[in-house]
Structure 1
Amino acid sequence: MMLIDQLQQRQADGKPVRVGLIGAGKFGSMYLSQARRTPGIHLIGIADLSPERARNALARVGWSPEQYAARSFDDAVRNQTTYIQDDAQALISNGQVDVIIDATGSPAAGIRHALLCCEHRKHIIMVNVEADVLAGPLLAQKAAEAGIVYTMAYGDQPALIVELVDWARTSGFEVVCAGKGTKYLPAYHTSTPDTVWGYYGFTEEQVGSGDFNAQMFNSFLDGTKSALEMAAVSNATGLTPAATGLAFPPCGVDDLPTLLRPRDIGGILSHSGTVEVISSLERDERPVYRDLRWGVYVTFKGHSDYVRDCFSQYGVRTDPTGEYASLYRPYHMIGLELGISVAQAALLGRATGATNGFRGDVVATAKRDLQAGEKLDGEGGHRVYGKLMPAVDSLAMGGLPIGLAHGVVLNRPVAAGQPVRWSDVTADLSIQAVRVRKEMEEVFQATLR
């Protein structure tokens, strides 16, 4: 049976999949717009630090007030409505919830929620890539021990990339490279919340009229979000990052198989079996022809003359040798597609992509010369951006993960472009996220030597 058939059967049987959402921001709102239209799904509750924001989100995406008027979880079940409150732990621990969605974007919150889901045996969809990269390899182990599904969010680019990698390998192809597109120029690495709107081309009037979070937007621009997403893909697929991190080469879809192949045959890759993000801008700021700014791709290899002939016969775009080919998806629809993860986790006990090792990490890197006594302001901030690197290199240097580079004070200077290390700050072991990350480093240290 297809997923929709199973959901319709759950609806007919009066046993819908009961979902709890934590965080009613943009991603959460996009899912809310589709959840009420999906048979066999009951959004039993929303936990948000601002319940009023959650109510506004529901109204904005088309829900009527009666649909979210529940006064308790029991009331929500009786009347097939949604209960809104601010206590995530209460939502996770409720015995009537089947699946939890963490859409908070906070690494510390995501770790806390994942561990609570392990405790209360609730499948968790980790929209929160920040938490997944900070501690996902350990959280996935704990989830497996608890017998729950820990999964990436379908619709977000990492899960869609993992799907393409799985398609290629299951079809018998060797995966050479996988990744996504974005808008990138080298200068963006030093962008701050004060300069971000100029790079995006937004006017003061546009920014003033909408819900524009400068630091969040800047995390996409300065390369941090791309690094996080590629680390997540590495940890879910076994593809390993280049030692130098992401190169962000300008590339259109027609050039994917030619550019994204190893250097020794004319491409740019340091090795086969890696990740890369391609830019929709040439270095002189001209737009790339047929760019992939919103999409994802996989480059793969045909190992025989017969396969290469098939590529040619069926119009597959290849490199000049006919050996390397690519498949891409031009768009991703983020939270609008999240229902796929909900259904697979609840009905099939399957993840739409999940970490299975520690191969990629994202280390805080100085945007400018930093002085002792400066307080780091985290992802998308004024002082550091996140750089992708192999996990083995991150652990060897003692790199400070970008997910913990918020609110900590430097005890020594760090030059522009250099990584920040654990030894450059004083870690607060009373913070759960710090303890969990330290535990993960200890668990994986031996395996990465």
Structure 2
Amino acid sequence: MRLFGPFPAKLGTRRLYRRSWQWYHGWMRQLHRDFGPKSGLTKSNETSQKLYDRERNENPFRIAVVGAGTYGRTLISQVVRLPGLRLAALCDTDLELVTRCLQEAGVDSEDCLRAGDVSELAGNAIDLIVDCTGSPEAGARIAEVAESLPAHLVMVNAEADACVGPELSSRIEAVGKVYTLADGDQPSLIVGLADWAESIGFTVVSAGKWTDAWEADTAEDLEAQWRREGKTVSDSDRMFLDGTKASIELASTANCLGFAPDGAGMHGPALGIAEIPRRFRATGDGAMFRRNGVVDYVNCVGLSRESVHPGGVFVVAESDNRTGMEAMARKGSLLSDDLRHVLFYRPYHLLGVETIQSVTRALLYGLPTAAPRQRYTEVVAVTKQGLKAGQTLKGAGYELRGVLYSAEEARSASLLPVGLAGGARLCRDVPAGTPLPLDAVALKDDDPLRLLRTDLLHAGWPVRLDSR
């Protein structure tokens, strides 16, 4: 076996870096073929074994990634290191970013489709698409392409999933493929913790995440400060600052678990980690919720970093097994004082590095790591400032923020999902701090998200259309 090819005497630094990565990946794949399963050496892990077999048979799974931002880059950096997987396409509206991303990962652009629009993926041999865009509208278009190929769809795009996840899941499953949220992002990891806890005999009563939740004035001051410092404030940054992002991610979580918020907007208490099993429950001393099956978040602002885990996720589970709970307490688990509730948590999420779990589970076993059952929640559009009739809305992170409601409460009040707000036109003046009623706006007639939300029409909600 030839490990190294001839090394050129003169090669620019950037080209040398790229070429070195290409040699490395080619070398590793040759090692997988020559010293993998066919040589008698096997992997103890079944998933790794199956991937080695695909590599050995020169039949790797072909993966397309849409979105070349931080998440997409971390995913690609892991895909290229695994046997049995190939990056078949990378799509982003910024083709220069696509080129840089491929160079960074050591992927030869001749072996990977560079696409500026998701429609270019149609007709290609692709087994699975990962949506890393964060745009609800893009998510709908990407799902349409996945449905037409057909291909499995891994949804990192919580903004799309919170708005139309149940509809997209049904459509992808109807063509025999898997729709799944992505490990590495918080919703899927929370669901994974809940699944694990239930599988060993616990009853999960609440689920959540740690986040920084700022007061409205403070959030505006932070955004202004970032701009003064010359930092680019993205849509995602604005949605993080005004609390929309937490609502969206917990909506995705709740729709998988069959949970809902305890009330509109959630509680978001500032709690040290040891307090969570006592407070995130509906019964017992210190209980904060009116019922079980609740999603909420812990606000890290103002707390010492030793007592919280920003970016981490958790579930609180109940058991009447006193013997087991006492043993867990001795082993350092965090329990309520009455030993009825325990905190299971993960102090981090690893972005695209661990999304491979969702990718391989869909490809090899036809299973999701997490998928919405139905719509149990709605992220409702709430005005951040007074708005005038005739104004065209930009959406979440701008003049609106997203607030988590139960689907039942949002439906009974005919409130506008924030994912449908972008491009809608106001039909009347609306004061600041108002949950937007559907009849206060005219939705875009050709909005792909509105077309997916057939439940709005079937439920008799007062939907106005704007055909401009």
TM-score range, shorter chain: 0.7 to 0.9
Gaps in structure 2 of 5+ consecutive residues: 1-44, 462-468
Q: Give how far 1:28 is off.
A: 0.8
SS at match of 1:251: coil
> Are 2:79 and 1:63 aligned?
no
> Which residue pairs with 1:11 in the alignment?
55
SS at match of 1:178: strand
Whole-angstrom distance in 2 between the partners of 1:410 and 1:109 = 23
Amino acid across the alignment from 1:53: L
Matches within 5 A, 1:176-195: 176-187=205-216, 191-192=219-220, 195=221
> Which residue pairs with 1:113 in the alignment?
142
Amino acid across the alignment from 1:273: G
> Which residue pairs with 1:140 in the alignment?
169
Matches within 5 A, 1:196-211: 196-197=222-223, 202=226, 204-205=228-229, 207=231
> Which residue pairs with 1:42 in the alignment?
86
Matches within 5 A, 1:33-432: 33-59=77-103, 62-64=104-106, 67-70=107-110, 81-94=111-124, 96-187=125-216, 191-192=219-220, 195-197=221-223, 202=226, 204-205=228-229, 207=231, 212-262=232-282, 265-281=285-301, 285-287=302-304, 289-381=306-398, 383-432=399-448
Q: Is the 8 A contact 1:311 1:322 kept in 2?
A: no
SS at match of 1:433: helix
1:258-283 CA-partner distances (Å, limit 9, x unpaired): 121226632212211111111112xx
1:394-417 CA-partner distances (Å, limit 9, x unpaired): 122121111121122211122222
Root mean square deviation, CA, Å: 2.1
Aligned residues: 417
Q: Give how far 1:308 is off.
A: 2.8
Distance 1:90 1:378, change over 3 A: same
SS at match of 1:140: helix
Q: Give how far 1:373 is off.
A: 2.8
Q: Is the 8 A contact 2:423 2:444 kept in 1?
A: no
Whole-angstrom distance in 2 between the partners of 1:106 and 1:51 = 18
Q: Give how far 1:222 is off.
A: 0.8
> Which residue pairs with 1:441 in the alignment?
456
Whole-angstrom distance in 1 between the partners of 2:407 and 2:460 = 9
* Structure-2-length-normalised TM-score: 0.84
Distance 1:92 1:104, change over 3 A: farther
Q: Is the 8 A contact 2:122 2:148 kept in 1?
A: no
Q: Give how far 1:213 is off.
A: 3.4
**RCO higher in structure (CA 8 A, sep ≥6):** 1
Whole-angstrom distance in 2 between the partners of 1:166 and 1:92 = 35
Q: Is the 8 A contact 1:358 1:444 kept in 2?
A: no
Q: Is the 8 A contact 1:395 1:445 kept in 2?
A: no
Whole-angstrom distance in 2 between the partners of 1:58 and 1:48 = 12
Distance 1:280 1:252, change over 3 A: same
Whole-angstrom distance in 1 between the partners of 2:258 and 2:369 = 16
Q: Give how far 1:117 is off.
A: 1.5
Amino acid across the alignment from 2:328: F
Whole-angstrom distance in 2 between the partners of 1:445 and 1:162 = 32
> Which residue pairs with 2:28 in the alignment?
none
Whole-angstrom distance in 1 between the partners of 2:450 and 2:401 = 19
Q: Is the 8 A contact 2:226 2:233 kept in 1?
A: no
Amino acid across the alignment from 2:206: C
Gaps in structure 1 of 5+ consecutive residues: 71-80
1:328-349 CA-partner distances (Å, limit 9, x unpaired): 1111111221111111111111
Whole-angstrom distance in 2 between the partners of 1:321 and 1:123 = 45
Whole-angstrom distance in 1 between the partners of 2:196 and 2:373 = 17
* Structure-1-length-normalised TM-score: 0.88
> Which residue pairs with 2:13 in the alignment?
none
